[in-house]
């Protein structure tokens, strides 16, 4: 069925190629490096590839898209999930592509409000022991935080079960995605489908082949193999029929045959005489002189007649295969479908559709509205916004957070899990964090997580304001910063797009000063500064020219010696100024009651500070809907 060639020392013959009953190169894959070239063919599911072969036989002009309806992608014996079909499609079209494979995982709840992540498989060709070592190293190096325990619970039957237990305040989705990013739980198979392909003259040369090339060459190979096999079977059937016809004639003239054999001096003389008398060929005559006497019965004659009839049917079928290419293809399809019926197994590797080239945490976390709470001592948490319900004023309220003694809630804001949070510190630095990266607490009254575990704050550095943002692309937005000593600075929002883990300098703070307020403003935006003694100044932010990040700013308000700025708010239509005093008194004033001044003035009275009220501690711009 295949051609043979001399082996390495010319002593023996070896097949040029093995007559594979299924597309072995695709099903089992191949990986190797040679001089100046390499190949990496991922394994595939046998049943799917056989379906692809049949589709190619039925329609030689089939497209890659049509083939991918049956050959969905590589099927790795270790399972896992292929992220998206773009890499698979590129591989099948060009012979080269990057296929991203990820381990399957699930998140389980544990006692005490903790969670654990369980991995049920690992990507193809990844060493499990080295993978677990890598995860342990990531924890030691603090590249992945929130893991309390790691163990391998895989059994001897090759079932993978890697358990990662998390700390109580850890976000399981974030830890999971950090593991996918930093170790081989998510790996890329860089396919390079290169093999020895016959050219027009039949010579083998290394070529990169596509999926269609692979199937076309396999169909051509099967056509050659089946044709040669049928020719061999045809010749064998015709030879057998020829012998049986001679035996049948010999049985019909058995007495004369025996007389010729007995009267001949040698076996050769008997053969010559029979050939002359009955027209036997040399092979027929030789078979007659070699046969046993037991075959000369009447029953044997009936068997010979039936055998000749069967052989004639086989010969007719073989000749039909050789003369009609459609029958040849039907034969190939019938045989390969029998292989599928016996040996095909279900697909092990799942294919998850979607764009996954840049995997980020949002791919694992649903976007939802959240409330972020930060205390004076630096404890932060997030909760779904529906945790809090609308109430009437004057009520006792509900407990939003339990705090340590002498601690209190300092900032509370609403945003979404996918928004950026710009965290400005009292020292003039800014950090960037996503909403989902703040650990979610199961209880409304829980204290939360120390923010120093999320941001690289220095000793004595505290968060002064948190600004939620969807993106940094709006060139018409500015971040305006106010300091305790009345200094104001405005910088374009785009300057803050590249904030690394160590933070950036947002404003150059002078000694003895500190950031007290940060807000988003637009061109021609008016802002109000409010001081501890109850003074307020309203001026247009355009009076403050836009500066670079590493600058100090200009004077926004002139302060008395014992006074300081406690907050800054942007002016909005129909907005009101909400002022809160140290002793819990609150007052709302329409912003339109404050006339516009030039920056640097002393401002006007906005709150009457008395012993009963205490000095002003906070200020916000609000409406009736807040």
**Per-residue pLDDT at 85:** 84
**Per-residue pLDDT at 4:** 92
**Per-residue pLDDT at 401:** 53
On the question of pLDDT at 360 being above 80, the answer is no
* Those residues with Cβ within 8 angstroms of residue 42's Cβ, 6 or more apart along the chain or in another chain: 29, 74, 76, 91, 99, 124, 189, 191
**Per-residue pLDDT at 394:** 58
CA distances from 554 to 218, 465, 536 (A): 77, 20, 17
Q: What are 577's strand-pairing partners? A: 589, 621
**Could you read off the pLDDT of 177-235 as tens digits, one per residue?**
888 888 999 998 999 999 998 887 878 899 999 999 999 999 999 999 999 999 999 99
pLDDT above 70 as % of the chain? 93
**Could you read off the pLDDT of 535-594 as tens digits, one per residue?**
999 999 888 888 888 888 899 999 988 899 999 998 888 889 999 999 999 999 998 888
Helix axes 254-263, 267-278, angle to 10 degrees: 140
pLDDT average, residue stretch 307-332: 94
| Distance of alpha carbon 620 from alpha carbon 575, whole angstroms | 10
Count CB-CB contacts under 10 A for residue 31: 12
**Could you read off the pLDDT of 90-123 as tens digits, one per residue?**
999 999 999 999 999 998 888 877 889 999 999 9
DSSP string, 185-235: TEEEEEEE-EEEEE-TTS-EEEEE--HHHHHHHHHHHHHHHHHHHHHHHHH
pLDDT average, residue stretch 289-304: 72
Work out the mean pLDDT of the chain and round it to a whole number: 87
Cβ-in-10-Å burial (0-12, 13-18, 19+) of 223 comes to middle
On the question of pLDDT at 151 being above 80, the answer is yes
CB 408, CB 350: distance < 8 Å: no
Q: 0.85 cut: is pTM over it?
A: no
**Per-residue pLDDT at 109:** 86
Residue 296: which pLDDT band, with cuts at 50, 70 and 90?
low
CB 507, CB 483: distance < 8 Å: yes
| Distance of alpha carbon 421 from alpha carbon 436, whole angstroms | 10
Count CB-CB contacts under 10 A for residue 94: 15
**Per-residue pLDDT at 362:** 58
pLDDT average, residue stretch 438-446: 71
**Could you read off the pLDDT of 371-411 as tens digits, one per residue?**
998 888 888 888 888 776 655 555 555 555 555 567 788 88
**Per-residue pLDDT at 355:** 46
pLDDT average, residue stretch 429-446: 79
| Distance of alpha carbon 261 from alpha carbon 236, whole angstroms | 28
Higher pLDDT, 205 or 300: 205
**Per-residue pLDDT at 442:** 60
On the question of pLDDT at 359 being above 50, the answer is no
Q: Picking from 24-28, 514-518, 532-536, 546-550, which range would have the lowest pLDDT averaged per residue? A: 546-550
**Could you read off the pLDDT of 30-84 as tens digits, one per residue?**
999 988 899 999 999 999 999 999 999 999 999 999 999 999 999 999 999 998 8
pLDDT above 90 as % of the chain? 41
| Distance of alpha carbon 420 from alpha carbon 435, whole angstroms | 6
**Per-residue pLDDT at 465:** 85
């Amino acid at each position: 069925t295949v051609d043979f060639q001399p082996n390495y020392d010319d002593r023996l013959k070896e097949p040029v190629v093995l007559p594979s009953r299924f597309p072995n190169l695709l099903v089992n894959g191949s990986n190797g490096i040679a001089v100046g070239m390499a190949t990496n063919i991922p394994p595939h599911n046998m049943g799917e590839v056989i379906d692809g072969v049949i589709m190619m036989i039925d329609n030689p002009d089939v497209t890659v898209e049509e083939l991918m309806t049956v050959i969905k992608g590589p099927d790795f014996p270790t399972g896992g999930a292929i992220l998206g079909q773009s890499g698979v499609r590129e591989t099948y079209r060009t012979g080269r592509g990057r296929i991203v494979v990820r381990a399957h995982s699930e998140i389980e709840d544990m006692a005490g409000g903790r969670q654990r992540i369980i991995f049920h498989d690992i990507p193809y060709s990844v060493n499990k022991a080295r993978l677990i070592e890598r995860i342990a190293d990531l924890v030691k190096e603090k590249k992945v935080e929130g893991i309390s325990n790691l163990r391998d619970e895989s059994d001897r039957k090759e079932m993978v079960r890697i358990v990662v237990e998390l700390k109580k305040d850890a976000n399981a989705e974030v830890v999971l995605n950090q593991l996918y990013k930093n170790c081989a739980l998510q790996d890329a198979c860089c396919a390079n489908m290169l093999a020895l392909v016959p050219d027009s003259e039949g010579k083998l040369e290394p070529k990169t082949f596509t999926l269609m090339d692979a199937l076309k060459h396999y169909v051509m190979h099967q056509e050659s193999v089946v044709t040669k096999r049928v020719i061999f079977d045809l010749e064998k059937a015709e030879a057998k029929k020829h012998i049986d016809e001679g035996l049948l004639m010999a049985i019909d003239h058995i007495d004369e045959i025996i007389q010729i054999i007995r009267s001949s001096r040698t076996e050769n003389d008997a053969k010559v005489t029979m050939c002359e008398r009955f027209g036997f060929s040399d092979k027929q005559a030789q078979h007659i002189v070699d046969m046993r006497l037991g075959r000369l019965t009447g029953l044997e004659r009936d068997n010979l007649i039936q055998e000749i009839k069967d052989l004639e049917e086989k010969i007719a079928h073989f000749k039909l295969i050789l003369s009609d290419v459609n029958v040849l293809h039907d034969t190939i399809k019938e045989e390969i479908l029998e292989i599928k019926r016996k040996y095909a197994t279900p697909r092990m590797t799942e294919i998850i559709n979607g764009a996954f080239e840049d995997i980020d945490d949002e791919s694992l976390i649903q976007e939802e509205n959240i409330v972020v709470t930060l205390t004076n001592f630096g404890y932060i948490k997030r909760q779904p916004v529906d945790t809090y319900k609308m109430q009437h004023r004057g009520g006792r309220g509900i407990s939003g957070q339990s705090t340590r003694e002498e601690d209190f809630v300092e900032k509370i804001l609403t945003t979404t899990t996918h928004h950026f949070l710009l965290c400005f510190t009292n020292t003039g630095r800014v950090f960037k964090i996503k909403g989902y990266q703040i650990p979610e607490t199961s209880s409304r009254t829980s204290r939360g997580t120390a923010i120093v575990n999320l941001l690289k704050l220095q000793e004595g550095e505290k968060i002064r304001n948190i600004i939620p943002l969807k993106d940094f692309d709006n060139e018409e937005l500015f971040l305006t910063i106010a300091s305790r000593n009345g200094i104001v600075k405005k910088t374009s929002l785009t300057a803050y797009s590249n904030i690394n883990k160590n933070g950036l300098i947002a404003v150059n703070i002078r000694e003895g000063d500190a950031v007290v307020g940060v807000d988003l403003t637009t061109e021609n935006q008016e802002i109000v500064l409010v001081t501890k003694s109850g003074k307020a100044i309203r001026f247009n932010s355009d009076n403050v020219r836009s500066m670079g990040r590493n600058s100090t700013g200009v004077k926004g308000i002139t302060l008395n010696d014992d006074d300081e700025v406690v907050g800054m708010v942007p002016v909005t239509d129909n907005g009101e100024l909400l002022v809160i005093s140290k002793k819990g008194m609150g007052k709302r004033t329409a912003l339109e009651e404050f006339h516009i001044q030039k920056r640097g003035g002393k401002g006007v009275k906005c709150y009457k500070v008395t012993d009963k009220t205490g000095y002003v501690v906070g200020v916000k711009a609000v409406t009736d809907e807040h």
